[in-house]
């Protein structure tokens, strides 16, 4: 039995007050879904099994290029971060794993494993960092890492990735995510082809170090911190990388790493079709890589992404097993509240996508009935699935209203007293 940080009595009491209304809402929605030929319990069962990983860096307060305003009770180290992640999992029951960032979260792997298992948490993908210089690092990444012109710097970056794999092996992780800041700020600064060739050669060395059963995720991003070109700038380049490296290499899609208006759901479909979709970094954005809470700006886009995922899931696409992770920066909200609600938003998009009448949709597509085809998607999207999500949480021991239970528990005030404010800390802009 794993430990609970928030008092189970408090959660029970809060749930008890909300349960009668939830049961009525669930029954009413169940009746309406039944009329559409959908069994509500089957949807709830799937939602219960749906999980999204929490990034360790997400529980700290983020920042912008201009400033970072630390929040009260911020985690001081990875062990505090694991406790915050345990709170998110306890109340949502949707986030059973944590994704670590090395070197930010570097600690004795056995101690890390012990700290997480206390709360029943596991570890998701390991994230390497060659986009900033670690303390006492021999060679700088100012002008790149895996694509750097200097062989010694590339070697150092490869070794760092191999070290992340080693740590991950002890933790029970099964994937390495590589995102690099490599690129250029000025035309002519780098030779595009040579830089990409150096990157591929370096990644081949990292790939060779993958243990059996592991996956390697490469993450594309069109700009920032390099503002003229990046080495892994788009999904096409990302696909080439995954193809070049081999069967264990997949593309990771961070929703914020595209130009405004790009059709991300179509990218997702392409990567599924060619068996190279590795997983997601969920977040939302208005202008660039804003790292806002999932579903906060364009929930319909999130739904459309899940429409593609559910389509692949239901059609039994071979090898389809994408990783789900949040990747956000919380500048003005309590990160725990944002992450709880974001996990729920991702679940919501999944539940809505499960409601799409796929047989009807196919018929409308085949008969070129554009209006009814798009209305079929809208009918699923317009359905308020909150009772399904809340019932899934209640059934698995979470909170019907995670934010209300969290606030009632006074967790933030409690940790603010225990964790004195520290200067600096790592940002969350990745
Ligand atoms: Mn990301």
- What pLDDT, on the 0 to 100 scale, is given for residue 318? 87
- What pLDDT, on the 0 to 100 scale, is given for residue 430? 45
CA of 63 to the centre of ligand 1 (A): 15
CA 143 to chain centre: 28
CA of 174 to the centre of ligand 1 (A): 18
CA of 253 to the centre of ligand 1 (A): 8
CA of 166 to the centre of ligand 1 (A): 22
Cα separation, 402 vs 409, whole angstroms: 11
Which 3-state string (H, E, C) describes 45-65? Answer: HHHHHCCCEEEHHHHCCCCCC
Decide: residue 47, CB within 10 A, 0-12 exposed, 13-18 middle, 19+ buried: buried
The residues placing their C-beta within 5 Å of ligand 1, an ion, are: 254, 281, 327
> What one-character DSSP code corresponds to residue 56?
G
- β-pairing, 122-123 with 101-102? unpaired
Decide: residue 82, CB within 10 A, 0-12 exposed, 13-18 middle, 19+ buried: buried
CA of 254 to the centre of ligand 1 (A): 5
- What pLDDT, on the 0 to 100 scale, is given for residue 421? 75
CA of 252 to the centre of ligand 1 (A): 8
CA of 257 to the centre of ligand 1 (A): 8
User: Omega into 225 within 30° of 0, i.e. cis?
Assistant: yes
CA of 155 to the centre of ligand 1 (A): 24
User: Omega into 18 within 30° of 0, i.e. cis?
Assistant: no
List, in sequence order, the alpha helices (H) in 369-424.
Answer: 370-381, 386-395, 402-409, 411-418
**106: phi then psi, degrees, rounded to nearest 5:** -65, 130
> What one-character DSSP code corresponds to residue 16?
H
Decide: residue 52, CB within 10 A, 0-12 exposed, 13-18 middle, 19+ buried: buried
Residues 179-206: tens digit of each pLDDT: 999 999 999 999 999 999 999 999 999 9
CA of 300 to the centre of ligand 1 (A): 20
Cα separation, 412 vs 275, whole angstroms: 43
Give which of 254, 176, 159 is closest to 210, Cα–Cα. Answer: 176
- What pLDDT, on the 0 to 100 scale, is given for residue 423? 57
List all residues 6 or more positions away from 194 whose beta carbon is below 8 Å from its beta carbon.
Answer: none
SS3 55: strand
CA of 130 to the centre of ligand 1 (A): 14
As given in the structure block, the two tokens for residue 155 are 């070697």
Stretch 228-246: mean pLDDT: 98
Residues 31-57: tens digit of each pLDDT: 999 999 999 999 999 999 999 999 999
Stretch 343-367: mean pLDDT: 98
Mean pLDDT lowest for which of 194-198, 221-225, 425-429?
A: 425-429
What letters, b where the CB count within 10 A reaches 16 and e where it falls short, cover 231-262? Answer: bbbbbebbbbbbeebeebbbbbbbbbbbeeee
- What pLDDT, on the 0 to 100 scale, is given for residue 424? 52
Stretch 95-112: mean pLDDT: 97
pTM of the complete model? 0.96
CB 239 within 8 A of CB 274: yes
CA of 43 to the centre of ligand 1 (A): 29
- Confidence tier at 296 by pLDDT (50, 70, 90): very high
Residues 381-403: tens digit of each pLDDT: 999 999 999 999 999 999 999 99
- What pLDDT, on the 0 to 100 scale, is given for residue 422? 64
CA of 221 to the centre of ligand 1 (A): 8
Cα separation, 220 vs 86, whole angstroms: 30
CA of 290 to the centre of ligand 1 (A): 11
Stretch 230-241: mean pLDDT: 98
SS3 251: strand
CA of 192 to the centre of ligand 1 (A): 23
CA of 98 to the centre of ligand 1 (A): 14
CA of 327 to the centre of ligand 1 (A): 5
- ∠305-306-309 over CA atoms, to 5°? 100
Question: Mean of the per-residue pLDDT values for the chain?
Answer: 96
Stretch 241-248: mean pLDDT: 98
Cα separation, 21 vs 27, whole angstroms: 10
CA of 71 to the centre of ligand 1 (A): 22
Q: Report whether pLDDT(75) > 50.
A: yes
Residue with tokens 């317009």: 382
- Confidence tier at 428 by pLDDT (50, 70, 90): very low
Stretch 224-238: mean pLDDT: 98
CA of 139 to the centre of ligand 1 (A): 24
List all residues 6 or more positions away from 355 whose beta carbon is below 8 Å from its beta carbon.
Answer: 33, 36, 38, 43, 379, 380, 383, 385
Q: Report whether pLDDT(408) > 70.
A: yes
Stretch 331-336: mean pLDDT: 97
**208: phi then psi, degrees, rounded to nearest 5:** -65, -20
CA of 292 to the centre of ligand 1 (A): 12
Describe the strand order of the beta sheet including 97-99 as a list of residue ranges: 54-55, 97-99, 122-123
CB 74 within 8 A of CB 84: no
CA of 65 to the centre of ligand 1 (A): 17
- What pLDDT, on the 0 to 100 scale, is given for residue 160? 98
């Amino acid at each position: 039995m794993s430990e609970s940080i928030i008092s189970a009595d408090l959660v029970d009491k809060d749930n008890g007050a909300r349960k009668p209304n939830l049961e009525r809402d669930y029954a009413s929605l169940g009746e309406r879904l039944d009329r559409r030929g959908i069994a509500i319990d089957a949807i709830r069962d799937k939602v219960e099994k749906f999980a999204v990983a929490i990034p360790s860096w997400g529980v700290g307060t983020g920042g912008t290029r201009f400033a970072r305003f630390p929040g009260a009770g911020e985690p001081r180290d990875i062990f505090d971060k694991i406790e915050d992640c345990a709170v998110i999992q306890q109340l949502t029951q949707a986030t059973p794993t944590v994704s670590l960032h090395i070197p930010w979260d570097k600690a004795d792997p056995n101690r890390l494993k012990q700290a997480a298992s206390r709360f029943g948490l596991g570890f998701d993908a390991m994230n390497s960092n060659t986009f900033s210089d670690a303390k006492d690092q021999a060679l700088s990444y100012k002008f790149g890492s895996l694509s750097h012109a200097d062989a010694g710097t590339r070697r150092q970056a490869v070794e760092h990735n191999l070290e992340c794999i080693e740590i991950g092996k002890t933790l029970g992780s099964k994937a390495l995510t590589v995102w690099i800041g490599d690129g250029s700020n000025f035309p002519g600064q780098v030779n595009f082809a040579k830089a990409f060739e150096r990157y591929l050669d370096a990644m081949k060395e990292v790939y060779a170090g993958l243990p059996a059963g592991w996956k390697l995720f490469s993450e594309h991003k069109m700009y920032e911190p390099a503002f003229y070109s990046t080495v892994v700038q788009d999904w096409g380049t990302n696909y080439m990388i995954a193809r070049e490296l081999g069967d264990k290499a997949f593309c990771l899609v961070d929703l914020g790493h595209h130009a405004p208006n790009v059709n991300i759901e179509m990218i997702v479909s392409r990567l599924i079709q060619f068996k190279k979709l590795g997983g997601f970094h969920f977040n939302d954005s208005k202008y660039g890589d804003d790292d806002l809470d999932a579903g906060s700006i364009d929930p319909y886009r999130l739904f459309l992404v899940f429409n593609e995922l559910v389509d692949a899931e239901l059609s039994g696409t071979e090898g389809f097993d994408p990783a789900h992770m949040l990747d956000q920066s919380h500048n003005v909200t309590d990160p725990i509240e944002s992450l709880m609600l974001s996990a729920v938003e991702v679940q919501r998009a999944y539940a809505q996508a499960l409601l799409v009448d796929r047989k009807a949709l196919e018929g409308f597509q085949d008969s070129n009935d554009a209006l009814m085809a798009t209305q079929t998607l809208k009918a699923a999207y317009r359905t308020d699935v909150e009772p399904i999500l809340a019932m899934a949480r209640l059934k698995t021991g979470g909170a019907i209203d995670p934010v209300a239970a969290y606030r009632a528990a006074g967790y933030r005030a409690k940790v603010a007293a225990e964790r004195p404010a520290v200067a600096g800390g790592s940002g969350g802009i990745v």
